[in-house]
Homo-oligomer: A and B are copies of this chain.
């Protein structure tokens, strides 16, 4: 693979507390210059909060209204990390805010880049188990409700396209594989 491109100029175009848009002017190997927008992001956590219902593992899914899609999305609890926040502190906080439960155990399910073409966001995936009620109030701009679903059913939805949220598809299939269900 050729050498990466040279960054001729860079500026921040917009930011809020969560992330910012940086615009780079790049010099291509052929000498031409192009502008490229890059989202600078502190990263996020994605949680698979799991509890047993009889012999069946069940996951606390969310139905969350997403303004970008103008629709409610079936997805796992997840949230943006503060720029200096510890990953597991963030995981416990988001779990309590979004589901009302804390977990005694977090098992890493690897990491993913949701959109490496435009963003440096890294998502850390965790299986969250040994749940106990311990709610925190959630952000005023988040509209969501908790919807517990069987992991077995979620695996089918992840595979056949019934779940469209990418991070949730990855985390559900990795959790099911970790639990030796696939």
Write the residues of chain A forming the contact surface with B, with a CB cutoff of 8 angstroms: 1-5, 13-14, 16, 19, 21, 23-24, 26, 28-30, 32, 34-39, 44, 63, 65-70, 72-73, 75, 78, 80, 109-121, 123, 140-141, 143-145, 158-161, 164-167, 169-170, 173-174, 177, 182
Contact = CB atoms under 8 A, between A and B. Distances in A.
A40 B38 CA distance: 14
A104 to B, nearest CB: 23
5 contacts: A14-B37, A29-B140, A32-B140, A73-B116, A80-B117
Contact of A14 (B14, B68, B69, B121): B14
Nearest to A40: B68
